Structure 1
Amino acid sequence: MDLAKFLALLQTNELWFARADTLGDPFEGSLTRPDAVTLAAAVGDNGPANHMRRRAVSNTYVSCWHMNEGESAAMWSLYSASHESVCVRTTFQALASELPDWVHLSEVRYVDYGTTSLETGGLVFQLFLHKRASFAHERELRAFFVDFFGTSEVDPSSDPHGLRLAAVKRPGGAAFKVDLNRLIDGVSINPQAPTWFADTVRRVAEVYGLASPVVQSELLGEALY
């Protein structure tokens, strides 16, 4: 993320969930070709099913995370609009503990949409746990929920920490209040970022009381041999 988004995260203490139809992949929530053929043979008219799918896509909210044991040079290149960017790290357990039980967390499965049946068993949310094989480099873990009712707040109950579990809707997505010091276990600064930018990120994190370490990536560090 760029500095503006990082600053917004620190200021609001909110984890952003983008609406699925804003993610840029026209296959979000789509059936595969074999599943579409099977559905057409069973019901004859795909119209209602397609309407349901379009409604699900516009009412599904997603937070996307890259899974890896270490940093990925490719992900820095693909998802950083400039060298002045950062990434935040968490664990599956920390992410799950900051979100209500009705938010689904799962790895994305990458398949050939021309030949593979998703075998969803009629569960609409399973459509959002698959992507085309050409996106396999993302190694995505996805947190998401579907809100067919289109309410401004979803499930306004309280969590064990006294924070609201409501997802507050905003244009293009929704946001959950989270405790950043429980969620984030580290911040990495773009390996190509200038020194002034790295220093600024560290100062901003300190001002907002972020306890996690903030370090610049060493992907472009000096070789040892």
Structure 2
Amino acid sequence: MFIVNDNIKLPEDPGTIVWKYLDLSKFVDLLLYRKLFMSRSDKFEDQYEGTFSEPTFEEIRKLSIDNPNFLDYYKFHRQNVVISSWHINEYESFAMWQIFTQKSEGLAIQSTLGRLQKALHTEKDYEQHIGEVNYIDYKKEYIPFDNAFFPFLFKRKSFQYEREIRIISDMTSYGMKIDNGLKIDVDLSQLIEKIYIHPKSENWYKNLVIELVKRLGFDFIIEKSDLESDILI
């Protein structure tokens, strides 16, 4: 269930284009089970996920002198927050293809912010919040902590190329053990506007994806990435 949070920054235009780059196995898993995987926040490659900048940490440390549980809460909270990451871009990103797909195989799901919001309305049990990530200097800039989601909406400036929008759920109140993450129900017809095939893939790979999508009962628009289109000279 998508919840609007007025404290979380988002692009105003619901038509803002967003992308998810993934390998074929994750794509098939998404279509087969009609569920979107959300990773546990402390399982991301960036060890700073869900942590605070130095100025904020100093403030929290002072507050925790008389209340040690205050600091412990933030340490363990990361284990109960799950995230699905999307990339904001009007066009395909060569860098995202390189980072998130292997060799000449992989796909990109094109969607929009508005589609993401509508796709999450099918999930009745868990609350999802969508926010745009802020990229800051963790040695100098302050991260507010008056909202439990804020630590997960800030990253170091080194990651600015990700231009990330996140779907976030806090599972603390459900008392469940989360290993690597969990899957949530989504409306795939809303979530997926178009599918792009890896720019370096061969025709057999595109045909394989088309056949898989068809056999699983979907009729999404599928195109080969034009990043490797023929030059005109």
Task: Give the TM interval when normalised to the shorter protein.
Answer: 0.7 to 0.9
Deviations 1:28-53 (A, max 9, x none): 11111011122233443684333211
1:131 aligns with 2:152: no
1:214 aligns with 2:233: no
Q: Secondary structure at the match of 1:90?
A: strand
Give identity over the alignment, percent: 30
Aligned length: 208
Please give the alpha-carbon distance, in whole angstroms, between the structure 2 residues aligned to 1:50 and 1:193: 48
1:109 aligns with 2:130: no
Task: Give 1:26's aligned amino acid.
Answer: Q
Q: Does the aligned pair in 2 maintain the 1:55–1:148 contact within 8 Å?
A: no
Residue 156 of structure 1 aligns with which residue?
A: none
How far residue 138 of structure 1 moved from its aligned partner, in angstroms, is 0.3
Please give the alpha-carbon distance, in whole angstroms, between the structure 1 residues aligned to 2:112 and 2:24: 22
Q: Does the aligned pair in 2 maintain the 1:59–1:150 contact within 8 Å?
A: no
Structure 1 residues 46 and 220: CA distance shift in structure 2, 3 A? farther
Residue 165 of structure 1 aligns with which residue?
A: none
Structure 2 portions without partners, runs of 5+: 1-21
Q: Secondary structure at the match of 1:219?
A: helix
Deviations 1:165-185 (A, max 9, x none): xxxx86411111222112100
- Alpha-carbon RMSD: 1.8
Please give the alpha-carbon distance, in whole angstroms, between the structure 2 residues aligned to 1:199 and 1:170: 36
Q: Does the aligned pair in 1 maintain the 2:36–2:185 contact within 8 Å?
A: yes
- Which one of the candidate residues 163, 172, 188 is aligned to 1:148? 172
How far residue 57 of structure 1 moved from its aligned partner, in angstroms, is 0.6
TM-score normalised over the length of structure 1: 0.86
Structure 1 portions without partners, runs of 5+: 153-168
Deviations 1:78-131 (A, max 9, x none): 1112311111111111111122583110110000100000123x2121110000
